[in-house]
Amino acid sequence: MTPELLAQILSRTPGWAAQSTAAGLDDTAVTQILAETFKLAEETLTPLAARADAEGCRIDKGRVRTPEGYGAAYRALGDGGWLAADLPGDLGGLGLPLALHVAAALPMEGAALPFMMLPGSSRAAAFCLAANAPDLAAEWCPRLADGTWAATICISEPDAGSDVGRIRTKARPEGDGWRISGTKCWISFGDQDMTDRIGHLLLARTGDPAEGTRGLSLFLVPNVTGDGATNGIHVERIEEKLGLHGSPTCVLRFEDAAGTMIGAPGRGLPALFTMIERMRLQVGTQGAGVAASCARLARAYAQDRRQGGDPAAPAVPLTAHPDVDRQLLLMEARALLLAALVLDTACTLDAAKAGSDRAAALAPVLLPLAKTFGGELGQDNASAAIQVLGGAGYTREWPAERHFRDVRIATIYEGTTGMQAQDLVLRRLLKDNRALDAFADTVPDDRSVTPLLARFADLIGRLKVADTKARLYAADAVLRAAWCVQSAVLAVRLQGLSVQADRALNLWLSQCPAQMAQAEAGVDWALAQDR
């Protein structure tokens, strides 16, 4: 992936022409912006990621110490405006379209996914505050954008992960504010030494436990108060993990910590969704970045590494072997399709916020696809890179194994694959016809795609008369059928980028009917469970 190629993919994304014109951006400006983030990724973040993976994070005197160089790198992103480029200018951002922010972030996510966890949560928090708490936004957003402050998302607890309704952390009123007590886990960058202040956007119970999610409210809980005093937040431990060694995943204990309510009492989860939406898109961008990095790594290695051929002649590069060529093409197809998917999702989200009814119906279909298959295909490419590099790929001399460890989390956090599938099927595709109609409208009249759409629509029709249990069994298969259609749409859209890209995309398209058949088999099995 190059800045020029990514700019071409962006130029083919529906809705981008209008959004770029409204923002005063031409093709030259877009390419220049992307060239800067590619340079930052290559020169600053790539070497930082390797050091951070080896060094890791630690607790020293009750505070988390991040790897050497993190603070300087974070300030560099803040100084360049890259932390929240799509935040409005009056809140400290650059006012760029969401799709351009995603494109700019893609090479940085592919270079240093663990480090980029903090920019992701801080930017998402800024948008949450802007949407729900204007007074807090005026104070916090400019500092989140310039990198002097940072933010986390605090949802999970030891006995309440995806089951948010079982949260037990409590908030009690005190004067004009609130006091928060409880334990939160899986908090990325729950503490760090990179910024002057950390704001935790935290769900806590203000109602009765029997109310489930309706008894939860959202709070901003800073690690230090306005006068610089500590605020009753303690780091109990950092998790030891398969990957993300450069991202401290903390267990935090809150003891009468002072907090400010965001939004209305009992409406914490809807208020927080502004943040969750952006973080789910970030997960897709993480996968797209890793997929692109691994595809580039594998091809460079295969072009340089020489093995096989006529024993009487010099050994040939790995790219001369058809099976290696096939693997590289499939990796490049994944990278192209994921880049197109996250950009399409970003443009659709912006269009929905601008008032497009069609985009509002389509966005909830694209977002779970971006989140899920960004994670899956990013991991597929990391695994494939290890395979192409052979034994070298399995060693820490090369970054493929690090990418594989780091991106594995992407299908778990911010809502597991099963949760994404259930949301797509139960709340979108089977609720009414709006989402399916909007999705179908994106499909071109092309023989590579229209038969897939017909088969997908047939699956939805069969599930409409099924019971809930069968629908839940079938949700994963339907999610994969939807991706089969969407990936074919994207593959057709991207035809003509280059000869090599066309070879990669045609290989992908050749496999789509088989992918749809596998999804259909999954639905057949689900519908047979109650017979």
- Is 414 designated active site? yes
CB count within 10 Å of CB 317 equals: 16
Amino acid at site 407: V
357-379 per-position pLDDT tens digit:
999 999 999 999 999 999 999 99
What does the pLDDT average to over 198-221? 93
What does the pLDDT average to over 195-202? 97
Instruction: Share the mean pLDDT of the chain.
Output: 96
Residue 224 per-residue DSSP state: B
Q: Residue 231 has which token pair?
A: 């605020």
99-112 per-position pLDDT tens digit:
999 999 999 999 99
Q: Residue 453 has which token pair?
A: 């759409």
DSSP for 391-445, written as a single string: GGGGSTTSTHHHHHHHHGGGGTTTS-HHHHHHIIIIIIITT-SHHHHHHHHT--S
Tokens 């630690």 label which residue? 58
Query: Is 3-150 assigned to CATH 1.20.1250.20?
Result: no
Architecture per CATH, 151-268: Beta Barrel (2.40)
Instruction: State the pTM of this model.
Output: 0.96
**pLDDT of 52:** 97
Task: Determine the Cα–Cα distance for residues 247 and 244; give it in Å rounded to an integer.
Answer: 5
**pLDDT of 531:** 64
Task: Determine the Cα–Cα distance for residues 417 and 479; give it in Å rounded to an integer.
Answer: 9
**pLDDT of 69:** 96
Options 4, 277, 414, 520, the catalytic residue: 414
Q: Integer distance in angstroms from the first to the last C-alpha of the chain?
A: 49
Task: Determine the Cα–Cα distance for residues 441 and 453; give it in Å rounded to an integer.
Answer: 10
Task: Determine the Cα–Cα distance for residues 73 and 254; give it in Å rounded to an integer.
Answer: 29
What does the pLDDT average to over 188-216? 93
Which residue ranges make up each domain of the chain?
A: 3-150, 151-268, 436-531
